[in-house]
Structure 1
Amino acid sequence: MTDHWELLRAHTQARIGLGRTGNSLPTRRQLEFTAAHAAARDAVHAPLDVAGVSERLRALGFGEPLVVAGAAPDRATYLRRPDLGRTLARPLTWNGSTSDVGIALCDGLSATAISAHGPDLAAAIVAALPGLTVGPPVIATQARVALGDHVGAALGVTTMLVLIGERPGLSVADSVGVYLTHHPRPGRTDAERNCVSNVHPPGGLGYEHAARVVASLVDGARALGSSGVALKDSSRGPALEDTSRGPGVPPT
């Protein structure tokens, strides 16, 4: 007998058509829910593997990463005090040359996401930005998006890209968001940023697809002189059809 719900589930990560046993969920579906909830909690609380991410960045040819931390002294404080994740525990000193673009890999609310996707996503973004100089990669722990403003200002970059672990849900625990801020400096608001979210192949946006959108936004910000609500994503079109997720699965 054909399970029509199974056909629909191939197109969404939402929990649909779970069935029932009496007045309850089937045991299999309840166990799946419990496992997803545990994965989300682990993603929030797990520490970022800084050494592992650093090694992968070196292997990809990024050179030696700079490691910084937000002002929260521990994970529990970080979760209770979002404001502390927006400032550096210690000022970042950079005596090297300035660059067009800076990239920071931040644990955010899912260190699991950055460990799984951060280095390869960063490599795809750099490859999509030919002709622009990219500063040294930065790895940030206990970090929120606005920490990138402090990092970008210290590096003297024109455009700052923050790759950060997004809040995990019961469908996805390893999703990465890319936040773009042109002329970063402390005090920038969220209205002055652009975001490309839901990057987590194979179920979400693929690295190359996300990188092309980010590159389009970087070009747009440089032409416009600003980012945020005034900057629109002009990259949408047939050329951006994401084939990394397999046949029959629409882009997110």
Structure 2
Amino acid sequence: MNALDHGSSEGDLWTTLRTSTRARIGLGRAGDALPTSRLLEFRAAHAAARDAVHRELDVAALTQQMEHANLGSPLIVQSRACDRGEYLRRPDLGRLPTGLAHLLASASDIGIVLADGLSAHALEEHGVPAARAIVDALPRHLSVAQPVIATSARVALGDHIGAALDVQTVVVLIGERPGLSFADSLGLYVTHHPRPGRSDSERNCVSNVHPPDGLGYAQAARVVTSLVDGARRLGRSGVELKDTSERVAVEGADTGRGSGG
């Protein structure tokens, strides 16, 4: 064992640094390998990531969560991937719906899609509170369509759903690829004028939503609201659209201080 495993001042430094990051830092050594405890932690994290990828979404439980949060009773859309195995082998099938005839055009401003993606656990843990925060943050004059739950879904499935709902902007909340530090990260994708064939460069992403270690719901909702407003002004989403939420917050704080003086 080296000094990192003997409670020295150097070891104490790494212990302090670990409280501010989920990254694996200062792991120490046992001969020419990792200490057994660190190796077991790594294997446990890897197993959690694999479980998250293969886990099926509990649609009934998520539906109940959404109804309790006053988000409405969701519509359900299934991709063309028959099961998780095919979903992982065939990303293209996760981008295509089995059918959308039950989605009626609403001509609403915003559509919200909760998709399992690569981590159903992330959606079950953070999807409903994130969606609730977004709805609460949106300006009151914007209408929101009936929400949709999408299973075995990739981000682009939201383009088909948004087009079928006839919404101006679709926001897809989707479980992100699990890492070895966390397996419950949620991504929020904003696409203006959604339609099949949209490229990734035509949408904006707010990633790493998983409080308390990642982005919080309220902050993520502010960014999404800023992107929605910007897309409506610009007429499109994507690489030309930038998040201005932090600048607006700073300008608002400056204005408040000025008026108070």
TM-score band, normalised by the shorter chain? over 0.9
Match for residue 128 of structure 2?
119
> Is 2:148 the partner of 1:144?
no
Q: Distance in 2 between matches of 1:92 and 1:110?
A: 27
Alignment of 1:116-195 (within 5 A): 116-131=125-140, 132-195=142-205
Match for residue 62 of structure 1?
71
Equivalent in 183, 188, 198 of residue 208 of structure 2: 198
> Is 2:29 the partner of 1:23?
no
**Residues 39 and 215 (structure 1), Cα distance of their counterparts in 2 relative to 1, 3 Å cut:** same
Q: CA deviation at 1:95?
A: 3.1
Equivalent in 104, 111, 136 of residue 95 of structure 1: 104
Q: Distance in 1 between matches of 2:98 and 2:22?
A: 38
Match for residue 104 of structure 1?
113
Counterpart residue type for residue 167 of structure 2: V
- Structure 2 contact 83–152 (Cα < 8 Å) conserved: yes
**Residues 59 and 209 (structure 1), Cα distance of their counterparts in 2 relative to 1, 3 Å cut:** same
Match for residue 244 of structure 1?
none
**Stretches of structure 1 lacking an aligned partner (at least 5 in a row):** 241-252
What is the percentage of aligned positions where both structures have the same residue? 64
Which structure is larger by alpha-carbon Rg, 1 or 2?
A: 2
Q: CA deviation at 1:7?
A: 1.7
Q: CA deviation at 1:20?
A: 1.3
- Structure 2 contact 113–149 (Cα < 8 Å) conserved: yes
Q: CA deviation at 1:178?
A: 0.3
Q: CA deviation at 1:96?
A: 5.8
Query: SS at 2:241's partner residue?
Result: coil
> Is 2:237 the partner of 1:230?
no
1:158-182 deviation per Cα after TM superposition (whole angstroms, max 9, x unaligned): 0000000000010110000000000
- Structure 2 contact 171–191 (Cα < 8 Å) conserved: yes
Counterpart residue type for residue 154 of structure 1: A
How well do the aligned residues superpose, as a CA RMSD in angstroms?
A: 1.3
Q: Distance in 2 between matches of 1:14 and 1:120?
A: 26
> Is 2:215 the partner of 1:213?
no
- Structure 1 contact 182–225 (Cα < 8 Å) conserved: yes
1:142-163 deviation per Cα after TM superposition (whole angstroms, max 9, x unaligned): 1000000000001110000000
Q: Distance in 2 between matches of 1:182 and 1:49?
A: 29
**Stretches of structure 2 lacking an aligned partner (at least 5 in a row):** 1-7, 251-261
TM-score, normalising length: structure 1: 0.92
- Structure 2 contact 106–167 (Cα < 8 Å) conserved: no
1:42-67 deviation per Cα after TM superposition (whole angstroms, max 9, x unaligned): 10000001011100000011121001
Q: Distance in 1 between matches of 2:105 and 2:72?
A: 13
Count of aligned pairs: 240
Q: CA deviation at 1:9?
A: 1.5
**Residues 192 and 171 (structure 1), Cα distance of their counterparts in 2 relative to 1, 3 Å cut:** same
TM-score, normalising length: structure 2: 0.89
Query: SS at 1:82's partner residue?
Result: coil
Q: Distance in 2 between matches of 1:207 and 1:171?
A: 20
| 25-34 or 154-163, larger mean C-alpha shift | 25-34
Q: CA deviation at 1:10?
A: 2.1
- Structure 2 contact 79–151 (Cα < 8 Å) conserved: yes
Counterpart residue type for residue 132 of structure 2: A
Query: SS at 2:246's partner residue?
Result: coil
Q: Distance in 2 between matches of 1:149 and 1:92?
A: 15
